[in-house]
Amino acid sequence: MMAHIPVLLVLVPLLTALALPAVNWMMPRLTQIFLKSALLFNLALAVLAMRHVVTEGPWHYWLGNWAPPFGIEFVVDAMSGTVVLVTAGMAFVIALYARPFFKMDEAGLQARTLFYVLFTLMVTGVIGVAVAGDIFTLYVFIEIASISSYGLVAMGGRRAAFAAFRYLILGTVAATFYLLGTGLIFAMTGTLNMAQLSTLLPPMMGSPAILAALCFVMLGLGTKTAMVPLHAWLPDAHTYGPTPAIAFLATALLKAFAYGIYRFLYQVFGGHGQPVTAMALQILGWLAAAGILYGSVMAIAQKDFRRMLAYSTIAQISYIPLGIAIGTPAALAGAALQMISHSMSKGCLFMIKSGMHLKLHTTQISELRGMSVVMPFSSLALTISAFSMIGLPPTSGFFVKWQLVRGAAEAGFGWMMAVLVLSGLLNAVYFFRILENVFIRKPEPDVHSDQSHGPMTSAGPELPLPMLAAMMILAAGILAAGVGSGWLTEHIFSLISLAGGGL
């Protein structure tokens, strides 16, 4: 079994998704145990795969033992292993969190089963994107992940259905762009395997068809990653969708597409070694910087916590393309660490958002006064993840910025360092505003006569135990990834290959 881990990583969530309705129908009591043990098993597989990568180098797995040009290849290396690990880990924590999220009546239970099926399908797609070794298999997994994410967003109610429709239209257009690029590459080279392409493409890089293919693929993946100016679908989808789904959408799904950008630019198109690709990387860097600033400024302008998180996602996700664009080993280590760091902190923030909704019945920032008294544990988790977003030590966010700034300095991109520092300040503006409301300001009794006094709280404990546990796991993870970032960089991120040549 050990020899088949790369394919099992995809098969386990897929089979779980297919078996879940049957299990739920026959033995409703076992559904949760079945789901969580499957996801935990998958996480264990991801850890084993990562260990194999660290000890023995990149893992090339041929499906059915068919050699690459004819068969399908799965590849686990340091970067895709990181994505798989993040995905499997977030999937387990979110599954833990999601159980109390749905009501225990008939409709709630039905929605919960539907949610879990779509959710595990999305996990399948995201892990598939990470391990796919040829560009058409990558397309199929992108669409598996995307279609299930459209369905998940639509579960959030009437506004969500409309947001999901727009997301679907834009996402599908992005997918046709990607497929068109794939077609051009196939027409020029006659192969779809990434390893083969990386040797066949370099002599052809001057041809207009390959240039068009590069543009189409980047447009497709850029839209899916929600890079400025292709981010239009994200704020609505992330505001109206159901929280557990969005916690996964904003973290693992976006990371996988950002990883796709890395995969194409470095392992297919030859990285900084090719003039055309170097140009593409430079444009990517400018767009990522624009995204960081735009997302941060828009986040400051929001009054609603959940909409603020959506814009903050646009800013934070752009750190990964920025690291990819810089292209030094330090910068790529920063990008990989951001995949871990942002997944945990943004996942945690979305969970807290939903907790506020349950307990305080509001997500308006101005109405969060006195939250630290009512929800002490959530406020602690909020502080840790906000610190990570801003980039304060010892959270992992600090080390992300540190690595990126170091990379930018090595590569001589002074303006990128300025953008990174500025974005830290902007993040501080909007997160300290929330922390001020949560910790310092006292709830005002009955200022608006038509409003109820202070934060209207539900009776009972802070939040259901699984929700709190999930938040605490993530908060602890943020600190652990921060403290252990040196170890991660040394043992894992140093193995990330810059096949075509970094800077």
Partner 1 sequence: MTMAVFFSYVIFWLIALLYVSGFFGMMEHHHLVKKLMAMNLMQTAVILFFLVLGQKIGGVTPIAVPGLTDPDAYVNPLPQALMLTAIVVNLSTTGTALAFLIVIKKHWNTLDESEIMRRMDK
Residues that bind partner 1 (CB under 8 A): 136, 139-140, 143, 147, 150-151, 154, 158-159, 161-162, 164-165, 168-169, 172-173, 175-176, 179-180, 183, 186-187
Instruction: Quote the least distance from Cβ 158 to partner 1, whole Å.
Output: 4
Residue 399, Cβ neighbours under 10 Å: how many? 26
Q: Which is nearer to partner 1, 118 or 326 (CB)?
A: 118
- Helix (H), strand (E) counts: the chain: 21, 2
Q: What phi, psi does 368 have (nearest 5°)? A: -90, 10
The minimum distance between CB 157 and partner 1, in angstroms, equals 8
Nearest to 138 by CA among 321, 51, 261: 261
Q: Which CB atom, from 77 or from 236, has the smaller least distance to partner 1?
A: 236
CB of 169 to partner 1, least distance (A): 6
Q: Which is nearer to partner 1, 233 or 399 (CB)?
A: 233
Nearer to partner 1, 57 or 183 (CB): 183
Quote the least distance from Cβ 138 to partner 1, whole Å. Answer: 12
How far apart CA 417 and CA 401 sit, in angstroms, is: 9
d(CA 312, CA 396): 17
Q: Whose Cβ is closer to partner 1: residue 180's or residue 358's? A: 180
C-beta of 168 vs 503, nearer to partner 1: 168
Minimum CB separation of residue 448 from partner 1 in Å reads: 20
What's CA 416's distance to the chain center, in Å? 22
Distance, CA of 62 to CA of 34 (rounded, Å): 29
Q: What are residue 105's phi and psi, to 5 degrees?
A: -85, 180
In the complex, minimum distance from the CB of residue 220 to partner 1, in angstroms, rounded to a whole number: 11
Minimum Å gap between C-beta 429 and partner 1 is 26
Residue labelled with tokens 């590459």? 185
Shorter beta-carbon distance to partner 1: residue 4 or 159 = 159
State which residue, 223 or 395, has the beta carbon closest to partner 1.
223
Q: How far is the CB of 37 from partner 1 (least distance, A)?
A: 29
Least Å distance, CB 162 to partner 1, is 6
Cα 396 to Cα 307: distance, rounded to the nearest angstrom? 24
- Round to whole Å and give the CA distance between 391 and 421: 10
Q: How far apart are CA 224 and CA 285, in angstroms?
A: 17
- Closest CB 154 distance from partner 1, rounded Å: 6
Contact in structure between 444 and 454 (CB atoms under 8 Å) = yes
Reported for 438-446, long-range contacts at CB under 8 A and 24+ positions apart, including other chains, are 438/368, 438/369, 438/371, 438/372, 438/379, 438/382, 439/372, 439/379, 441/369, 441/370, 442/369, 442/370, 443/369, 443/370, 444/369
- Among 376, 367, 384, 366, CA closest to 463: 376
**Token reading at 88:** 């499997």
Contacts (Cβ under 8 Å, ≥6 apart) of 220: 174, 175, 176, 177, 178, 179, 181
Please identify, using beta-carbon distances, which residue of 241 and 355 lies nearer to partner 1.
Answer: 241
145 or 292: whose CB is closer to partner 1? 145
DSSP 272-296: GGSHHHHHHHHHHHHHHHHHHHHHH
Nearest approach, Cβ of residue 177 and partner 1 (Å)? 9
Directed axis angle between helix 135-154 and helix 106-131, to 10°?
A: 160
CB nearer to partner 1: give 229 or 414: 229
